[in-house]
Structures are given as C-alpha cells and as structure tokens.
Amino acid sequence: MTEQEDLEINDIASGSSLSKDAWIRLRKNRPALGGLIILTAFFAIALFTPWIAPYGYEVQDLNLGATGPSQDHWLGTDIFGRDLLTQIMYGGRISLSVGFLATIVALFIGVTWGSIAGFVGGRIDSVMMRLVDILYALPFMIFIILLMVVFGRNMLLLFLAIGAVEWLTMARIMRGQVQNLRQQEFVEAAVAIGLSRSVILVRHIIPNAIGPIIVYTTLTIPSVMLLEAFLSFLGLGIQPPETSWGLLIAYGAETMEEYPWLLLFPGFFLAVTLFSLNFLGDGLRDALDVRGAKD
Amino acid sequence: MQKINSNHLLKVDGLSVSFVTRNGIARAVEDISFTVDRGKTTAIIGESGSGKSVSCYSLLGLIPTPPGKIDSGSAIFDGQDLLRLSDERLRSIRGRRISMIFQDPMTCLNPFMTIGKQLAEPLICHQRLRRGQARDLSIELLREVGIREPEVTIDCFPHEFSGGMRQRVMIAMALINEPELLIADEPTTALDVTIQAQMLSLITELQNKRDLGVIFISHDLSVVSDFADDVIVMQKGRIVESGDRSSILGSPTHPYTKKLLSAIPRGGKAVSSVRGDDPLVQVKNLNTWFSSARYRTPIRAVSNVSFSILPGEVVGLVGESGSGKSTLGRSIVQLIKPTSGSVKFADLELTKLSNSSMKHQRRFMQIIFQDPFASLNPRMTVFDTLAEPMHLHKIVENKDVTSAVFKIMNDVGLTRSSVRKYPHEFSGGQRQRIAIGRALAVRPKFIVADEPVSALDVTIQSQVLTLIQELIDEYGLTMLFISHDLSVIRKISDRILIMHKGSIVEEGSSSKIFEHPENDYTRALIDAIPGRKLQVS
C-alpha cells in the first residue's frame, strides 16, 4: 500500500462523510458561499457594534434634524438627529438575534417534537399532534401579548414567545417527512443491524428529512424579524431609544415622502440579509442532498 | 408511396436515434432494422439501457424531441413511413392501428376513473360510438381477456383489481380499437410467475385469433423463448444478433447472446453445504397476523408454519406475492413480531427475548432486501454503510474498521475507489452488492435473503446469484432464500419450501420438488416457469 493510499484511508475513517461532503459542496456554490460570508460579516458587526459604531445609540443632535447622507453621517440622520448608520448597527443586533435565536428555538423544538411523533407513531403521535393543533388554534398574537403583559417586556421572553409559535409548522413538516421515511426499507435494514431507535432516528432518518426543514428555516428567520417589528410597533417588543431593523423600517415608512433614506437604508440591510439567507438555504439544501448533480 | 412488401406488417430499416445531453450526444439506437409480420411475434431482448424501448417508442413518436432526435432510417407500416408522418396522421395510427402495453399496470391506469370509462374513452373518441355501444363492446372485450363477470367489474376502479387483472385490462385497452400491431414493453416483468404464464398465453391466443403482429420487448430471454417467432438481441443500441427463435436459442453466435442464455438460471445446486444435524433455526407453529380496520378478522399472513434449517443449509422459500413469504422471513429475524409460535435460533427462543438482547443477537442474523434502491440510506457513503454495523457490534477494533471495510468490499466485488461514493452513484447490481456487504459486515451465521435478485436484470441477476453462492461457502453461511422464481431457487437451494396463502404446502429437496411435485400448487408453479424448453435442453 502506498503512502498516498494510506493517507486516503485515514481520511476516509475520520468523521461523518455527509457533513464533510456537504461542506465541500457548499464551498463550490458561489451564491451560497457569498450569503454565508455576508451573514458572518453582519454577525461580526453586530457583535462589535458598541466598539465600532460611529456614535452612541442614544446620542442625538436635535439641531441637526433629518439630513441626508453626509461626511459625518454616512447614511444620514433621523428626525431627532441620530446617526442612521449607528441605529442600523444597533438595530441589527436586536433583529439578528431575535431572528436567529427564535428560529433556533423553533427549529429545535419542532424537529424534536415532529420527528418523535412521526417515528413513534400510534397513540403518542396522536396526542402530540393534537397538542400542536390546539396551539395552532390559539390566536398567537393574544398568546404573545398575554406573555408580555404577565411577565413584562423582556428580550429573552420575546425569543421564547416567537419561537414557541413558529415551531408548530416545523413539527408538522418534520412529522410528515419522518412518517414517510420510517417505512423505507433502509430504516428496516438499520433495525436489522441492531441499531437502537434513537440512533436510527438521528443518523438515518433526520439527515434524509432535513431538506424541506432547511428551506422552511430560511423562510422563518425573516418572518420572525418582521414579527418582532410588528410587536415592537404595538409597543410590546423593543422600545426606543433601543431599536431594530423592523422598527426603523416602520418609522421610515411613515416619513417616506420627506426622508426616503430613513426607509431605504434599513430596508436595504434587511433585504440583503434575506437574500443571503435564501441563497445559503438553497445551497445548504443542495449540499446535503447527495443525489444532486455531481461535478 | 407504394406498398413495398405486403407480407411485412412493419418494416424498420436503418433506424438511428440519439439524445442530446449535457455531456454530448448519446446514441441510444444505431442502425436498427427488423420486420414484423401479421400473426407473428418479434421479440426484442436486451438489458436496461440497451435501447430496446427507445427504438419502439420512436416509431410512434413517443420520445420527447428534443432532447431525442431521429437521425435516420425508415419504418414502413402499411405503405407509410411512420417516421415522416405529421403528428396528426401519426395520432390516428397510434392507439388505433398500433397500440401498446406498458410494464407497470399500476401506474398506467387512471385511479380516479372506472375501468369501463377508461375502456370506452378510445371507442368514443376514435370510433365515434355511442356510450351504450361502447359499454357493450367493452364488456365483450373484458370477457375476451379473461376477466370474470365483466358486467359487474366494468364499474370497478383500478385499485379493486389485482396486478394480473390490471394487466388484463391494459391488454383489453390496447386491443379495443382492433389494432394490427401490438407493442408490448415488458408486459409481464412486474407480475408473478404464474400470472406471467397466464398473460403470455393470453397474448398468444389473442394474436392467433386476430392475426396480430406483436413486438415483445423484454430483458428476459427465457420469457420469450416459448412463443417468439423472431428474436432480436440488442446491446448498447445495436442489434448484435437476430434470427428465428430456434437459431438464436439453439446456436447463438454472438458472445452477448451466449451470455444471456447462460444467465438463465438452470440446474440445481452441485454440492450440499449442510454441516451437522442440529438445526440452527427452528420455526414451530409460527403465526403472524395483521389486524386491519377494514376487515373484522385479522389477515393471516403467516399461519401455523413449522420448519427447521440445518447449519450450512440453504433453504429456498417460494411463493407468489401475497403468499406471506416476506412476512415469514421478517418474522424469523424479529423485524415483525410474530403473533404466536416459536422461533429458535441456536436453542435461543427469539420471540421471548427482550429488545436489548435481541439487538445483541442481530449480530448473528441478517437480512438482505429485495430493492437495493430502497434498502440503502441515500445519504450514507459505502464506507459509512459498511462501517456502521462493525462499530455497533465491535466486530473489529476501531483502527481496523477501514481495512475490514475494504475486505468486505473486495469480497462482494466492489472496487476500493468507490468507498466514498453514495448509493445513487451505483447501478442496481452494485447497490445489491453493497447491501449484501452490509449484511456480511457483522459476520453473521444466518441470513434471510428476501428476493435479493428479483429487481435485477438477468445477466446481473446471475452474477449476484453466483456471488451469493460463493459467499455462502466463504463465510459458512446458513440461508433462507426467498424468491418467487423457482429456477433461481433451484439453482441455490438444498431444500425448497413452497408457500401458498400463508402456509407451507410442500417441502422437500429440490430434486424431489421438481421431479415429483405432490401438491397441485407446486405443479402450477413449475409449469409457469418461463422457458421450460430451455431448461430441458
């Protein structure tokens, strides 16, 4: 055996093939990689905002009023004379964390709940899914408003509240996928090997069910961001002087005719985030689908 | 255009078809010539991808263009060149003077329309009959293709019919406009042997009665060996050999034809591999019933079955679909919990084992499934698939797993370079090799092989069968080999069990079963084996 082959063999034996192959594929997908880079950059900026923002978020110069982009204020200022770039940076902290954290909460609960219901089946499945139906039937705005009223306004609660609503659809999608996969022969083959049910679920079923979930996740993140804007608009989410992209857009829309940049710039950042997410989501789905065209 | 040769119903000359793909031009069919006569059958034989279907579909304008393209050739049918007819003219011939039967009777019927409506449709559209007339004619035709009580069944939906009945309906639909030429594309491949035999005799009977020309496409030489007049053997888009039946079957000249002929399983197992008298597997009064919401009484898939398998013995289990043979196999390895009865494996009562001790026992018994496309996890590489059971049962130390995987791959005939590939990158035969490798990875004593070669082309089938035989010797395996195909079973088994409607109706050594069958059902099965003339010769 040559040294080259030896190296290859060591390479083969280490790590799960699927995730490694998926990463190699993702790297070749230009739009997805671009999306990933942009999102990473946004996260980095959000993380370091307090140190790199040109102004403090509470700094306002009422004399200045709303002005267009200038040397001192690259993206202009709002009617209170606050720097828009600073606001977008601080807003991004909130929007990105709400969007991603709430979605991760939803993803985690939904995938676990749905795959257990679908895999175990029978009475447990019925009970679990009826619970989902009941939660579906609750008007969720009232649910969130109730939570906010009882526990007060709290960022963490906001994540949980939105996540707790969004997981329902995830659970349903996952259950359908798992139910379908459970009857496949390769699952039976895994039982025949002697694998335990949890290993079968994690290693054989979930990787095959993940495609639609990824796509749905990338759709959920933006909708969660907009939901946060809506809640904030109602006075249940973020309150000034804190801000988020959703809020900035909402206020910007009010003064669209006089000060269009107040709508355009926050809108631009939200749009770029959404595009990046979509490209990344499509790329991830394709990367995980080993049946896709082999290059 | 004048009639060139009135004897020939269809004369295809120099037909070439190609497909434009991303990787360049694929020549599906190259320079094909053949003729079909009235009242005669021309069989086109070849494995999947040999261009046998494409050549016939292109005659009827049924290949999508683009990417398909008919490069050259002519197909003279009743003085007209089919390849040069306008779409409209072709439509008046297709379905009316030339009709087709397809492989899968499940997907070719509209599940939302009654049989009667589907039959009447072409009558009303092509022959402009009134509904009443169309219905009477349909009933008449259903009776002719052997459907009982057609007055009642005409109002049934396709799902209320069995596979064989559906194929009869398909034949009735193909015949309804009294065509002159019938193209049958693997019409019996999806059917059981006994039903296949009925179907073939039905086609021959109708052919004689109506003076039909038939093109019969199949991958299986033995199927056509009983009734085809002319045989054309295709490989990679070309005709490699053609001639009348007796010359092709009796004295083939092309090596590919010889290979096809030798791939037909025949004869029995040469040496018995049985060691010892203490049974390794002992099944006693086994029952597996399924309760269903539709029926009050449970479905008795396996009812009161008893038999035993000696160490090293290969026992063949034969029966048609629905006979419960797969359920029996799965009940033995406890993939389905039996309702009652006992399964002993090396004196261990499997039905009473706890889940965790059963998982431990799975090391010693494995199962190979029928469909290698469904039985492999599409997102696991060959390496992961083969290494997983080794890790689980700690067959070898972790550092030796890689070399153990290569050993298995070598044993089942896969190249080392494919270790990182995913199942979809393999052909059906290679996938089945992976599945066999997975079963062997834990070095089991006993394997249930559930129709492991039924989904494969004949030549591949014979390779995989040979592989299984070699592995039985090399690994000292004991095996329950399930199949609907008696000739496959005969080739591999020491002893044969015949299963019918959930019970074992006959049991005996393979020579005894074949030479002195006692049960009527066994006799019917043996008579249904296609290509019996070949078996004898």
Distance CA A132, CA A174 (A): 13
Q: B281-334, pLDDT tens digit by residue?
A: 999 999 988 876 666 677 788 889 999 999 989 999 998 777 888 889 999 999
**Chain B nearest CA to A202, separation (Å):** 12
Contact B376 A189 (CB under 8 A): yes
Among partner residues A17, A192, A204, which is closest to B367 by beta-carbon distance? A192
Q: How far is B424 from chain A (nearest CA, A)?
A: 6
Handedness of CA B126, B127, B133, B138 (dihedral sign): negative
- The mean pLDDT value for B31-52 works out to 84
Give me the domains of chain B, ranges plus CATH numbers: 1-97+182-263 (3.40.50.300), 107-176 (no CATH)
Q: Give the ipTM of the model, two decimals please.
A: 0.75
By the CB < 8 Å criterion, does B400 face chain A? no
Give the count of Cβ contacts less than 8 A between chain A and B. 87
- Shortest CA gap B389–chain A (Å): 6
- Is the CB of A193 less than 8 angstroms away from the CB of B371? no
In angstroms, what separates the C-alpha of B78 from chain A's closest C-alpha?
45
- CB contacts of A21 in chain B (<8 Å) are 381
Q: State the best of B379, B402, B408, B434 to mutate against chain A, taking most chain A CBs within 10 Å.
A: B379
pLDDT tens digits for A99-134? 888 888 889 999 999 999 999 888 999 999 999 998
| B168 at A interface, C-beta within 8 A | no
- Arithmetic mean of pLDDT, B92-111: 79
Contact list in A for residue B425 (CB cut-off 8 A) is 294
Largest pairwise CA distance in chain B: 80
- Please give the structure tokens belonging to residue B15: 């037909």
Q: Which of A185, A192, A290 sits opposite B374 (nearest CB)?
A: A185
Chain A contact set for B362 (CB, 8 A): 192-194
Q: Is B421 on the interface with A (CB under 8 A)?
A: no
Q: What is the pLDDT of residue B270?
A: 65
CB atoms A291 and B424 under 8 Å:
yes
**Model confidence at A38, in pLDDT bands (50, 70, 90)?**
very high
CB < 8 Å to B360, chain A: 194
Assigned superfamily of A25-49+73-288:
MetI-like (1.10.3720.10)
Per-residue pLDDT of A213-226, as tens digits, reads 888 888 888 888 87
Contact between chains at A189 and B384 (C-beta distance less than 8 A) = no
- Other Cβ atoms within 10 Å of A82 Cβ, number: 23
pLDDT above 90: residue B421: no
Residues of A with CB under 8 A from a CB of B: 9-10, 12-13, 16-18, 21, 184-186, 188-196, 203-204, 207-208, 288, 290-291, 294
Nearest to B366 by CA among B432, B441, B425: B441
Could you give the CA distance from residue B406 to residue A247 in angstroms, rounded to a whole number? 60
Total count of residues recorded for chain B: 537
A38-75 burial, b at 16+ Cβ within 10 Å, e below that, comes to: bbeebeebbeebeeebebebeebeeebebbeeeeebeb
Give the best residue of A5, A17, A183 to mutate against chain B (max B CB count within 10 A): A17
Which residues of chain A are within 8 Å of residue B406 when distances are taken between CB atoms?
9
For residue B492, the Cα-to-chain-centroid distance in whole angstroms is: 18
B284 has which bridge partners? Answer: B342
pLDDT tens column, B343-382: 999 888 988 888 888 988 899 999 998 888 888 998 888 9
Q: What percent of chain A has pLDDT over 90?
A: 15
**Whole-number pLDDT of residue B252:** 83
Residue B407 Cα, gap to closest chain A Cα (Å) = 13
Question: DSSP for B191-249?
Answer: S-HHHHHHHHHHHHHHHHHHT-EEEEEES-HHHHTTT-SEEEEEETTEEEEEEEHHHHH
